[in-house]
Amino acid sequence: MSESLFAEARQRLDLALKHVKISEDAVEQLKYPKASLQVSVPVRMDDGSLQVFQGYRVRYDNTRGPTKGGIRYHPNVSMDEVQSLAFWMTFKCAVLDLPFGGAKGGITIDPKQLSKFELERLSRGYIDAIADFIGPDVDIPAPDVQTNQIIMGWMMDQYSIIQRKITPAVITGKPLTMGGSTGRETATGMGAYFAIETIMPKFQAVRESTTVAVQGFGNVGAVVADLLCQAGYRVVAVSDSKGGIYAKQGLDIPSIRSYKNSTRDFRAVYCEGTVCNIVEHEIITNEQLLALDVDILIPGALENQITENNAHNIRAKYIFEIANGPVTPAADRILEDKGIRVFPDILVNAGGVTVSYFEWVQNRSGLYWSLDEVNSRLKHKMVEETERIWAIAERESISMRTAAYVHALNRIGEAIDAKGTRDYYISQ
């Protein structure tokens, strides 16, 4: 991870500032994180040895409410990365008008190297280390790359042990039986699907002739690929960290998902019942997937996938970012020159934090909603905010990314200014 990820993230803010009227005070406040914490987490390993892991949590801005953001387990996790992701979360929560600021956390670890026992001890140890930094009214974590429901459950349990009271609202993305929300697991992919379905008719796209490639077949990528495939889009390529599969005629994503879930094997298959047959396909690299001649490209793995080095090769017409930060600012400029429309992460993948918000609301009220209610509230929010950002982009003739930042900045700026600006204090 480059040291400059945060500097790059801030470039987006600078671009948007040219199109908003917010006070100097608000700009000054948004330049720095509210609070950052680095912790060492000692873990007794299964072989009896002790290993110490580095963990982070950053609360970026809490003007609009307690901060909110996921916890990532990955070897590349650093303070720079966590701070950048916390910065993005601040804008993402404002884009969707959620009463939250932005935060993020993580541990520098490849979780695949740990046993389940070690993973539980690490997750509980991390909560021990950051317990004073989080809370239902302070900062509310959630899952991110390589963390999941069961880890959120351990973390909620550990926080409740420390507080001596069951505190489900401290963390979202929990198992349903521990206060999780219906629809949380599919929320990010489904939110992205609603954004795509709101945007594509504006370009007179017909689903059946719209081709799609998805990089990353995890929590988010697999769900959006599945929803698009079932809606009639032609999903021609998907990939994971080992590489991708491509079939010109389109892939049967529900079959690939169920085959992967039951065998852990990632292959182009078509299944009828429990019988799956391999279909004709090509094996491609992730670089080749990104450069495919498709209508829609969906980067859904990690950040910095489309950079100044490969942006020239991109042939897709529309890019919907479901990973956080997959396109660098330098690549943005190249794509814009090529006429490729980029729909930004802080809008497209905001379905996850939106249903996390619904989970927090349900935990605090003690009243739980049906899947239909969760999904219809999610659809309403995604469609409404996508339309608003589209209108700003059209009105100002700016990219959807800058329009999303403008939209968020207006909301955050108003909240900061509500406490008083320089003009308020010096005018008599």
Which residues are identified as catalytic?
104
Single out the residue of 219, 397, 236 nearest to residue 324, CA to CA: 219
**251 contributes a contact to ligand NAD by CB under 6 A:** no
Three-state DSSP class for residue 302: coil
Amino acid at 9: A
**302 contributes a contact to ligand NAD by CB under 6 A:** yes
Using CB under 6 A, which of the segments 9-17, 152-160, 319-327, 409-417 binds ligand NAD?
319-327
The C-alpha atoms of residue 299 and residue 218 are separated, in whole angstroms, by 11
Q: How far is CA 70 from the centre of its chain?
A: 8
Amino acid at 30: L
Return the ∠ at Cα 388 (arms to 385 and 392), rounded to 5°.
140
Cβ-contact 342, 323 below 8 angstroms: no
Q: Which secondary structure element, helix H or strand E, spans residue 225, and what is its range?
A: helix 221-231
**91 contributes a contact to ligand NAD by CB under 6 A:** no
Sign of the torsion formed by the C-alpha atoms of 278, 279, 280 and 282? negative
**146 contributes a contact to ligand NAD by CB under 6 A:** yes
Cβ-contact 391, 414 below 8 angstroms: no
**Minimum CB–partner distance for residue 57 and ligand NAD (Å):** 16
Amino acid at 351: G
Using CB under 6 A, which of the segments 15-23, 252-260, 321-329, 330-338 binds ligand NAD?
321-329
**Minimum CB–partner distance for residue 186 and ligand NAD (Å):** 9
Given 4, 230, 241, 370, the residue binding ligand NAD (CB under 6 A): 241
Single out the residue of 85, 76, 72, 98 nearest to residue 36, CA to CA: 85
Q: How many residues bind ligand NAD (CB under 6 A)?
A: 24
Using CB under 6 A, which of the segments 121-129, 193-201, 237-245, 335-343 binds ligand NAD?
237-245
**215 contributes a contact to ligand NAD by CB under 6 A:** yes
**290 contributes a contact to ligand NAD by CB under 6 A:** no
Given 111, 216, 344, 413, the residue binding ligand NAD (CB under 6 A): 216
**With respect to ligand NAD, which residue has the nearer C-beta, 25 or 252?**
252
**Minimum CB–partner distance for residue 378 and ligand NAD (Å):** 12
Amino acid at 343: F
How many Cα atoms sit within 13 Å of 315 on the Cβ side?
Answer: 10
**Minimum CB–partner distance for residue 63 and ligand NAD (Å):** 22
Kindly identify the residues of this chain, within the stretch 348-367, that bind ligand NAD according to CB under 6 A: 349, 352
Question: Longest C-alpha distance within the chain, in Å?
Answer: 79
Given 33, 300, 344, 413, the residue binding ligand NAD (CB under 6 A): 300
Task: Collect all residues with Cβ–Cβ distance below 8 Å to 7 and sequence separation of at least 6.
Answer: none
Given 53, 133, 217, 343, the residue binding ligand NAD (CB under 6 A): 217
**253 contributes a contact to ligand NAD by CB under 6 A:** no
**Minimum CB–partner distance for residue 145 and ligand NAD (Å):** 4
Residues that bind ligand NAD (CB under 6 A): 143-146, 188, 215-221, 239-241, 286, 300-302, 322-324, 349, 352
